[in-house]
Amino acid sequence: MSIPPFFASAVGQASIWKELTFSVPTLAALSELAALRLVNCSAEDYELSSEALAILSVTRERGIIELKSNNTEFESSQRMLAVYAEKTTDTHVMFRSREEPEITVRFLEGFRQLCDAGMVMHQVAGEFSLTVRGFDKAKTINADNVATYIDQGDVLTFK
């Protein structure tokens, strides 16, 4: 699949779109799963992993989740598609581990569960948001119960 050239016409944006194409099959599958659940809701008692609950807990206020990969990194584990959860406008939590790639995979699976449970909807490119169902569930989670999972992420601050 190639992205039409007009997407990359903005100065400095071409490399971002080129890197995005490496993750397109996974992004498309997760987007489709989330879209299916908007129409055909899954069971209300969907069992979520601790990683999925941690993602919900982090995003309870903003509800914004991004999936990102970095194809310019040398190490494979650093190029993997990973979950970035927005805690505040200036604070994100990146669930990617160079030393333990299984952490990256487990959080991506947690994100897939959120899609399948109808708690996430696709917005644009690698950006997703919680649904009303997702926000409602997030507000019921005690952050202390998933703190060890949240701590597996790296906190990124922007100012």
Beta-bridge partner residues of 128: 65, 122
Backbone Cα Rg of the chain: 16
Nearest CA to 63 among 133, 126, 112, 125?
133
Beta-bridge partner residues of 85: 65, 93
Residues 125 and 27 sit within 8 Å (Cβ to Cβ): yes
Tokens of 37: 């659940």
Nearest CA to 147 among 48, 47, 50?
50
Q: What is the pLDDT along the chain (159 residues), one digit of tens a residue?
A: 444 444 444 455 555 555 555 566 667 777 777 677 665 666 667 789 999 999 999 999 999 999 887 766 666 767 678 899 999 999 999 999 888 999 999 999 999 999 889 899 888 888 899 999 999 999 999 999 999 999 999 999 987
